[in-house]
Structure 1
Amino acid sequence: MALIREKRLPQLHLSLPVPPRAAAQELGVLGRRPNPAVAPAPTATKASTPSGLSSQFRLADFEKLAVLGRGNGGTVYKVRHRETCALYALKVQHYGDPAAANEADVLGRTGSPFVVRCHSVLPAATSGDVALLLELVDGGSLDSVRSRRGAFTEAALAEVAAQALSGLAYLHARRIVHLDVKPANLLVSTAGEVKVADFGIAKVVARAGDHCTSYAGTSAYMSPERFDPEAHGGHYDPYAADVWSLGVTLLELFMGRYPLLPAGQRPSWAALMCAVCFGEPPVLPAGASSPELRGFVASCLQKDYRNRASVAELLAHPFVAGRDMPVSKCALRKLVADASSSL
């Protein structure tokens, strides 16, 4: 797999003025603020710096409360601001990891309720590690919800699909491709809000319609053209690759397990390549799934990326556009609440 090209950490602070204690309490435990107005798409060579964000957070301002997750690149903590008591997620990434600079750069370009928000980039004074101060999404990842509560209902899945697609639509409109969509990288709040997260290998595409040559990512969610680049001229359409990954993700949430391999089979690279490139997607039983869901998944998991539906087409698909929104939102909130109560 190609390595992510290392970038210098942007010399910018995406922090917000620290609110007084009363304001923080009014905002609630997430310390949430209104999203900034969406600016025109930035160029691919320079990160945008939000205006009016002059004050800076320091790592010493925060108290670590719990570990939310660990990965190869670092650790995510639940933290509390010592003065305001507002809660955040602090993603500490190891010195020299290019994903830290990449994620900071990409998140500096975004401001959507469907994308996790970055408040500040905090360089450590001594270790050289870099910390991203992120909004705390209190329900955890969709992967953790599935592992605790099992398969998602269709109603809850339709809500996940609608919000994840809204996040991807926002990103794609700004020529940002995620390249690692999976249940672990979609966060959900107890209010039923889904947010795209983890932009360590995301790319900003120079021009609309450009293809991509990066093959970093999670093998289980890679599209056929990413597994077999030689068959596609050594490059691929990254927007269509995100759609495939979302299709696999939704199918996994519905089935309650990774869907492209038989239950219990070890997901080795060879097994995954055979399944993704040469196997057929599982057929959902008619009695256990609606025609709308089956059609939606089929639109995502076309082997030929040129036949895959776009994000805009999927947002208009009956499975998403025709959902009963209050029912689907309630179903998702219930799943998250049940998963949280099982901790």
Structure 2
Amino acid sequence: MALVKDRRQLNLRLPLPEHSERRPRFPLPLPPSSLSTTATTNPTATASTTTTITAADIEKVQVLGHGNGGTVYKVRHKRTSATYALKVVHGDSDPINRRQILSEISILRRTDSPYVVKCHGVLEKWGGDIAILMEFMDKGTLESLAKSGDLFSEQMVAKIAYQVVQGLEHLHAHKIIHRDLKPSNLLVNEQMQVKIADFGVSKIMCRTLDPCNSYVGTCAYMSPERFDPDTYGNGGTYNGYAGDIWSLGLTLLELYMGHFPYLPEGQRPDWATLMCAICFGEPPSLPEYVSKEFRSFIGCCLQKDSSKRWTATQLLSHPFLQNIKG
């Protein structure tokens, strides 16, 4: 398989820059709206005027999470009481993490969809920290809901699928592939609105079928052609758009089944086991009692041959989503 050849390259590392070279020497790109936002876009806002937000205007409320050299905070605007999420990558973090947040900023500048988490602005703080001020989703992630014991009915999964597919259609239309779609990267609010987030390893494609053969992302949700493009890809290439659809199918299956579908409940995955299951096994299936529409929808997502997988636009016309309102 091409897998062996490609994995040899994973241990290659560029030398890290000296500590003094990790500080940005150029202005950061800002979203089109810069730091100007309307408070009424947030349900907790108390004012209806347009507000220019600076670092001095916000106060930290609590830590929402850590990882990849950074921290995500829940923050509040001091004057309007509007709440936001502030994603901070620290100035002395790994250069890879800093490149990822700069990539995420670039992606967010291109998106404007109710199904993609909104960026309200970018702050460069003293000491080289980079912070993205983002929409706050008060229910957390679909992963956190599942771990808390929430059960997802077929109807709930259909509503989630509709929103995520809408988001993917918007991203793919703008030549953006996510590459790391999974329950922990789908945010939820009290109204059960679902939005795609975390674009650190996403890519803006220069051409519709620009090859994308790196091993970034989470291997559990990788499509077969991501591991072995020669066998499962279209002409030996990895189609990132189709890869996002595969990840969507596994995500929906996991939410419905209550555990990762390729493994028995409670089993911890490892890279070799997952690779063998995804490449050599049959795609996981739903229980017999689910509707034929649900089974068909998952089947359209989990085609091992990437050329047979439905696109986001095609999925929006699938019978499984026809009775869902956005």
TM-score range, shorter chain: 0.7 to 0.9
| Per-residue Cα deviation, 1:95-140 (whole angstroms, up to 9, x for no partner) | 33211100001001111111100011111112x1210000111111
**Equivalent in 30, 55, 69 of residue 12 of structure 1:** 30
1:252 Cα offset (Å) = 0.3
Q: Please tell me whether the aligned partners of residues 9 and 100 of structure 1 are also in contact (alpha carbons under 8 angstroms).
A: no
Q: Deviations over 1:177-226 (max 9, x none)?
A: 10100001111111121111000011110022333223210011000111
Instruction: Structure 1 unaligned segments of length 5 or more: list them.
Output: 34-52, 330-343
**Does the CA-based 8 Å contact 1:141-1:186 persist in structure 2?**
yes
Using the TM superposition, name which of 195-204 and 92-101 deviates more.
92-101
- Determine the C-alpha separation between the residues in 1 that align with 2:47 and 2:223: 35
SS at match of 1:286: coil
Which position in structure 2 is the counterpart of 1:81?
A: 77
User: 2:284 maps to what in 1?
Assistant: 282
Q: CA deviation at 1:170?
A: 0.4
Q: How far apart in 1 are the matches of 2:71 and 2:13?
A: 20
Q: 1:246 aligns with which of 242, 245, 248?
A: 248
Q: Which residue of 2 aligns with 1:102?
A: 103
Superposition TM-score, scaled by structure 1 size: 0.80
Question: Do residues 93 (structure 1) and 89 (structure 2) align?
Answer: yes
1:290-326 Cα shifts (integer Å, max 9, x gaps):
11111111110111101111111111111112x354x
Q: Using the alignment, how far apart are the partners of 1:147 and 1:68 within structure 2? A: 16
1:263 is aligned, of 242, 262, 265, to 265
Percent of aligned positions with the same letter in both sequences? 49
Name the counterpart of 2:123.
122
Distance in 2 (alpha carbons) for counterparts of 1:193 and 1:150? 16
Q: What is the letter of the counterpart of residue 197 of structure 1?
A: A
Aligned 8 A contact 1:182 1:246 in 2: yes
Tell me which residue corresponds to 1:197. Answer: 197
Query: Are the aligned partners of 1:243 and 1:309 in contact in 2 as well (CA < 8 Å)?
Result: yes
Residue 28 of structure 1, CA deviation: 2.9
**Contact 1:251/1:259, CA 8 A, preserved across alignment:** yes
Q: Which residue of 1 aligns with 2:314?
A: 313
Gap change, CA 1:4 and 1:78, over 3 Å in 2:
farther
Change (3 A) 1:66 1:226: same
Matching residue's letter, 1:236: Y
* C-alpha contact (below 8 Å) 1:74/1:93 kept by paired residues: yes
Quick one: distance in 2 between partners of 1:86 and 1:143? 25
Distance 2:245 2:45 in 1: 30
Paired AA for residue 86 in structure 2: L
**Which amino acid in 2 is paired with 1:12?**
L
Per the alignment, do residues 295 and 58 of structure 1 end up closer, same or farther by CA in structure 2, a change over 3 Å counting? same
**More relative contact order in 1 or in 2 (CA 8 Å, sep 6+)?**
1
What is the identity, as a one-letter code, of the residue corresponding to 2:291? S
Shift of 1:255: 0.3
Cα 1:312/1:11, change in 2 over 3 Å: closer
Other structure's SS at 1:146 match: helix
